[in-house]
Structure 1
Amino acid sequence: MLFYGFAVVALLTATVSAQARLWEQCNGGIGWTGPKTCVAGTTCYEWNPYYAQCLDAASPSTATTVRSTTTTTRATTLTTTTRSTVKTTTRSTTSSSSRSSSSSSRTSTVTTQKTTTTTTTKTTTSSGVCGTATFAPISAQSAFDALHPGWNIGNTLDAIPNEGSWNNPPITSAVIDAIKASGYKSIRIPVTWTHHFISSSPIWTIDPTWMNRVEEVVDMVLSKGLWAILNVHHDSWEWFDVTQFDNAGVEERFGALWAQIGDRFKCKNERLLFEPINEPPGTTDAHAAELNKLNDIFLTKINQAGGYNPKRVVTLSGLGQDTYKTINWFQRGTLYPNQPWGLQFHYYSPYDFIFRAWGKSTWGGADEKATLELDFSTFRGNLSGIPVVIGEFGGSPAGLEPAAAWRYFDWFTQMANKYHFSIIAWDNGDDLFNRTTLKWHNPAGQSVLINGAAGKKNALALGTTDGSVPQLSSAFIFHKVGTPVVSQTASYELNGNTLVSIKNGATALTSSQYSFSSTGVLTLTSSYLSTLYSTSSAPGVKAELTLTFSQGAFLTLTIVQWDVPVISQTNFANPTSDFRIPITWNGFNRVAAVRAVWDNGVYVSDDWTVWLPPLQQARWTFGNWGYEANSVVLWQSGADYLRSNKPAGVTNAILTWEFYPRDGYTPGSNAVNVTIGL
C-alpha cells in the first residue's frame, strides 16, 4: 500500500486553521480544512498532488526524494492495477507499466471452496523466556481462515511522521470494540518506523516510546479476541526501496528493525501474525531476488529473537504485493522450513472505477465480473495450496456511486470465498469507519461486505453498468424540482431473497405506500412521495429508507429532490493555486465527474477516452479536481496542467462539473460549466 488517498465523500465543514508546524500536513484533498501554509523556517513540500507536508526549508532535497519513492509504478494487467497512492483524504494512483504474463510452471488445481477454520487444542507450556504467556500453535491456513474478514487501521500508526499526522485520532479501545461488534475478525496494523529510529548505522535503534505505543495497540486488538497482523509499512518509500538504495544498507536496517520487533513481540499469542514489508517496490528479476533474500532476513531475525516466534504464522509477499508479480517472481526460501506461512497480495482494480478516473461511476457488467474472477483464479491456479490473504482492497463504499459499489463488493467477496482468499479491507479513516463518531460512513456498504464475506446471498440495487446516459441507480429516487410528483420505482437483484420491511427511520412503510414485485421491482406511490416533497419544495435529501431482506445485507434508498447546482461565478482567469468555487448544491452534494475540453472542443487530456462510453468521454482524472462542503475545487495540480498544456490558439478551458443524477453535460443537464481563462 502507499498513501491511499481515495475519495472521501463525507463532506467536511470548512474551518480556519493556523499554520502547520514542522512535519505537519499543509495540504490535502477532498474535505481538507487544515492549514495551507507552514510556520517560519519550514516549507510546504508536495509529495504528490494530494498530500503535502511542512519540511525544513533548508532541505528541499528531502521532499524530492520522498516524491520519487511515492510514484513508483506498479505492474498491472487489464484492470488489476495496484496503486501508488497517498493515504490522506483523496486518492490517486500512478499506473504506467503493463502487467506481466501470468504464465507459470507452478500451475495446479484451483481451490474453489473455503474450508472450515480449525484450531488445535495443544497449548505450549508456560515456561522460560515467555513466563506465563501461552501460545497455541496453529497452521497457517487455519490462521488465515480466522482472519476473514478483517479491517486495516490505515493512516494512523503508518502516518508520517507520527500517529496523528494524517488527520486521524489515535486508536482507542472503543474503536477496536466497534470494529469487532461490526463483524470483523482481525485487524491489520500498518506501522511506519522510519521516523522513530533514535540511532543509525550500525545500531538502528527504535525509540522505546514508539515501540511501547505499537505494543499498546497490538495488545488492544489481541485483548478483544481479534487476530492481528503487524507490519513494516511506508518504510518501503523512504529507505527500503531496493530500486533506489544500496541493498546492503537496506538489509542492515531491515534486519535490525525486525530483530527489535521480533524481540518485543516474541511472547504474544498465536493470534499475532507478522508481515515483513508493505508493497515492496521492484519491477525486475534482480529486485525480486533481493526481496526473496530480505524475506529470509526477516525470518532469520524473528527466529533468532526466540520466544514463540518460530511457531508464529507469517504473511510473505512478492513485489508490490501485486498478483502477477508474485506469480512470476515469488520464491519461498529454504530457511526455517517449519515456519507456518502464507501469501498476501493487495487488490485495487479496476483502476478507473476504484479511483473514479475518467468519469467511471458504474460497475457490474459481465466482462467486469469476469476480469475480476480471472485475476483471482490465475493467482490461485499458479499458487494453489498456499494460504492467501488480500491484505488491502478498495475502494470506498462511501466514495463510489452506491449501487455500483455494493455490486462490486458483493462480487469481490464472492470471488474471495470461491478461491479461498481471506480479506482485510483498507480504511484510511474516511473510507469506511468514522473513528470519532464510531459510525460507518456507508452502513449499507459495510453490511454488503460483512454479509458477503460470511457467504450470505445479498440482494443488490440494480443500475447502469455500461456508462450510458442517463445513469440509473436503485440506490436513489430522484425527483426534479418543478416536475409533478408521480410514483417511482427502484429495481433489485434479489438473489433468492425476499423483502422483509422498508422503514423510514423507525417507521415501517405500509402496503398503501409501496408495492414490491416478485421480480424485485419496488414502487413507491405518489401519495407516499408527496409526504416527502412537492413540486416546489426545496431541493435536498428528503429521506433515507432502509430495506431489509430475508438474508444478507440491508440496503438504503436515498430520496432526493434536486435541481441544477448553482455556482457563484462561471468565468475565472488563470488560477495559480487551489481554486475554490462556492456552490449551492441543490440536491445530493457530490460531484460525479468533470468534463474538460479546450474552447476549440479538443479534449484537455486523454483523447483516447473518445472510445469510452458517453459518461466517460473527455472526463478528467480525479486528482485535478475535488469538492468540499461548500465548494467545488480546481486543485493547483489541475490549474498547472491547464497552463502547461494549453495548445496554440486556445484561450480557455471549459470544465463541466457533473452531479448526481448523471444525465450528461449538454444544456439542461445536471451540470454547470466553468470557463478558465489562460
Structure 2
Amino acid sequence: MKIKRLLAAVLSLAMGVSMMTACGSSDNSSKAEKDSSATENTQKHTNDPMTVTTAKDLVAQMKVGWSLGNTMDSTGGSGVDAETSWGNVETTKLMIDQVKDAGFNVFRLPVSWGTHMDENYTVDEAWMNRVQEIVDYGIDNGMFVILNTHHEEWYMPKKDRADKDIEQLKALWKQICDRFQGYDEHLIFEGVNEPRLRGEGNEWIGDAESREVVNQYAKAFVETVRASGGNNPNRCIMVTPYAASSSRQNMEALEVPQGDDKIIVSIHAYLPYSFALDTAGTDQYTSIDSSITTLFTDINEVFLSKGIPVIIGEFGSVNKANTEARVQCVKDYLSTAKQYGVPCCWWDNGTRIGNGENFGLLNRSEGGWYFPEIVDAIKETVNS
C-alpha cells in the first residue's frame, strides 16, 4: 500500500485486541502439538505434480483476487506475533474459505521477511512455517496464491546499495524457493513490492538510476527462482516496475526478462486517485473515469500487445461512507480490466473506519463482509 499505515494501525489496535478475543485466537495447544502440526505442514506439498503452462495461459484462468493486507506484512511485535501487531486477528482457514466462497480465485499473501531474518539472512523457521500454513489455506482451496516480499526496509534502489540488496534478495528467495519447490502451478512468486526511494521527494516517481536498480532486482529474482529445484524452473513468477507504478514512464522502463514465457508483470493502481486512495479526496464517483481507461490502454500497449500478461496486484477504494459510489467504481474498473484480460487483487487491510486507508471488506473477527454490495458487484462483474 502506498501510505504506510502507522496511524491506521494505532487507531485499530484497541479494536484488534477485542477482535482477537472474540475470534478465540488464543491457542492453548501444547508446544509438542504445535511442533507436530508445523512438521506435518512443511511436508504437505513436497512433490505436487505441476501442469507446465505459460504465464499468459495461467493468468487467463484467474478471475479476481483478494489480498490479506496488514497481517503477515506487519512489522511490529516479535516473531510470529507480528501477524497481529497491526491490529488484525490471527488468520484462519475459515477466513480464506469465505474469500473463496465469495468468488475470489486468487489469494495474494503479502509477507514482510526482513524483521524475521538474522545477520546471515536466515529466515526464522517459525515464521516460514506460519507463512506456509497460510499459503496452504489458499492452495487447499484450489486458489492461485501469490506470495511476495512486502514492507522490506532493507532494500533501497540506489546504485551504491544494489550489490548488498541483491545479495540479501537472492538469499531470501533461495530459502522461499527451497521451502515451496514442491508446490504446483497454483503458487506464484512475486519478487518485490513497490520498490522505491522510500522517504525521498521522488519516492513514487523515481529516476533513471533507481529504475535500473529495480531491473537488477528483477533479474536477480528471476535467476534465483529458475536456478532452484523442484517445480520452480517452470513456475510462473511476477516482476514489478519501479514502485509497482502504473505511470507510462515506469512501465516502459521495466526490463522483462527475455526468453521466459512464465513472467507476469505486477502493477498497482488505485484509481481514480482522489476517489480511491486519497483519504482527503472526493467521495463522489458517477461514471467511468478516464484514468481507468488510460491505465488499461497503457498496459495493453506496453505489455499485453507484446504477449506479456499483467496482474493488478493491488486496487480498491477507501471507505468514505459512499458504498453506492464504490460499487459503481469497482464495476467500471473490473469490467474494463476484464476486456483486456487483466485480473485484479483487492487490497483488504482489515480496517473500515478511522482516519487511515480503510479498504477492509472481510469481517475477520465475526465472519461475513462489511460491504456485501461491493463483494457482490465484484463477483457479478468478473462472472458476467
**Preserved contact between residue 9 and residue 86 of structure 2 (Cα < 8 Å):** no
- Deviation of the 1:339 alpha carbon: 5.2
| CA gap 1:339/1:373 in 2 versus in 1, 3 angstroms | closer
Q: Any stretches of 5+ residues in structure 2 without a counterpart? A: 17-44, 77-81, 198-205, 352-359
**Preserved contact between residue 292 and residue 333 of structure 1 (Cα < 8 Å):** no
1:344 to 2:269 alignment: no
Give the equivalent residue in structure 2 for 1:173.
93
Larger radius of gyration: 1
**Structure with the higher fraction of residues in helix conformation:** 2
Pick from 431, 438, 450 the counterpart of residue 379 of structure 2: 450
3-state DSSP of counterpart to 1:344: strand
3-state DSSP of counterpart to 1:315: strand
3-state DSSP of counterpart to 1:417: helix
Could you list the structure 1 runs, at least 4 aligned residues long, displaced by more than 6 angstroms after superposition.
none
Give the equivalent residue in structure 2 for 1:638.
none
Give the equivalent residue in structure 2 for 1:226.
143
Identity of aligned residues (%): 28
Write the mapping of 1:316-355 to structure 2, written as runs, cut at 5 A.
Answer: 316-324=239-247, 325-334=249-258, 337-338=259-260, 340-355=262-277
Q: Which has the higher contact order (CA 8 A, sep 6+)?
A: 2
Q: Structure 1, residues 393-413: CA drift from partner, whole Å, max 9, x if none?
A: 0214x4441221111111001
Give the equivalent residue in structure 1 for 2:350.
429
3-state DSSP of counterpart to 1:424: strand
**Preserved contact between residue 159 and residue 209 of structure 2 (Cα < 8 Å):** no
Write the mapping of 1:498-577 to structure 2, written as runs, cut at 5 A.
Answer: none
- C-alpha distance in 2, partners of 1:138/1:416? 22
TM-score under structure 1 length normalisation:
0.47
Give the equivalent residue in structure 2 for 1:417.
338
- C-alpha distance in 2, partners of 1:2/1:359? 15
- C-alpha distance in 2, partners of 1:310/1:450? 33
| CA gap 1:2/1:263 in 2 versus in 1, 3 angstroms | farther
3-state DSSP of counterpart to 1:148: coil
Q: Structure 1, residues 585-611: CA drift from partner, whole Å, max 9, x if none?
A: xxxxxxxxxxxxxxxxxxxxxxxxxxx
Pick from 191, 206, 209 the counterpart of residue 276 of structure 1: 191
- C-alpha distance in 2, partners of 1:137/1:399? 44
Give the equivalent residue in structure 1 for 2:35.
none
**Structure with the higher fraction of residues in strand conformation:** 1
**Preserved contact between residue 271 and residue 291 of structure 2 (Cα < 8 Å):** no
Give the equivalent residue in structure 2 for 1:670.
none
Instruction: Using the TM superposition, name which of 354-363 and 369-378 deviates more.
Output: 354-363
Write the mapping of 1:203-602 to structure 2, written as runs, cut at 5 A.
Answer: 203-235=120-152, 238-243=153-158, 246-282=161-197, 283-324=206-247, 325-334=249-258, 337-338=259-260, 340-358=262-280, 360-365=282-287, 369-383=289-303, 384=305, 385-396=307-318, 398-430=319-351, 431-454=360-383, 456=384
**Preserved contact between residue 116 and residue 127 of structure 2 (Cα < 8 Å):** yes
- C-alpha distance in 2, partners of 1:132/1:453? 33
Instruction: Using the TM superposition, name which of 142-151 and 259-268 deviates more.
Output: 142-151
Q: Structure 1, residues 396-447: CA drift from partner, whole Å, max 9, x if none?
A: 4x44412211111110011101122111111001211111111111111111
Q: Structure 1, residues 531-580: CA drift from partner, whole Å, max 9, x if none?
A: xxxxxxxxxxxxxxxxxxxxxxxxxxxxxxxxxxxxxxxxxxxxxxxxxx
Aligned length in residues: 332
- Deviation of the 1:351 alpha carbon: 2.2
**Preserved contact between residue 2 and residue 234 of structure 1 (Cα < 8 Å):** no
Give the equivalent residue in structure 2 for 1:189.
109
Q: Structure 1, residues 205-248: CA drift from partner, whole Å, max 9, x if none?
A: 1111111111111122101111100000001xx11122497111
Read off the aligned partner of 2:167 and give its amino acid letter.
E
**Preserved contact between residue 351 and residue 357 of structure 1 (Cα < 8 Å):** no
- C-alpha distance in 2, partners of 1:400/1:313? 39
3-state DSSP of counterpart to 1:151: strand
- C-alpha distance in 2, partners of 1:26/1:4? 8
- C-alpha distance in 1, partners of 2:315/2:322? 17
- C-alpha distance in 2, partners of 1:294/1:206? 19
- Deviation of the 1:382 alpha carbon: 2.3
| CA gap 1:401/1:301 in 2 versus in 1, 3 angstroms | same
TM-score under structure 2 length normalisation:
0.81
RMSD: 2.2
Q: Any stretches of 5+ residues in structure 1 without a counterpart? A: 6-24, 36-129, 457-678
Instruction: Using the TM superposition, name which of 353-362 and 371-380 deviates more.
Output: 353-362
**Preserved contact between residue 13 and residue 87 of structure 2 (Cα < 8 Å):** no
- Deviation of the 1:328 alpha carbon: 2.5
**Preserved contact between residue 274 and residue 313 of structure 1 (Cα < 8 Å):** yes
3-state DSSP of counterpart to 1:391: strand
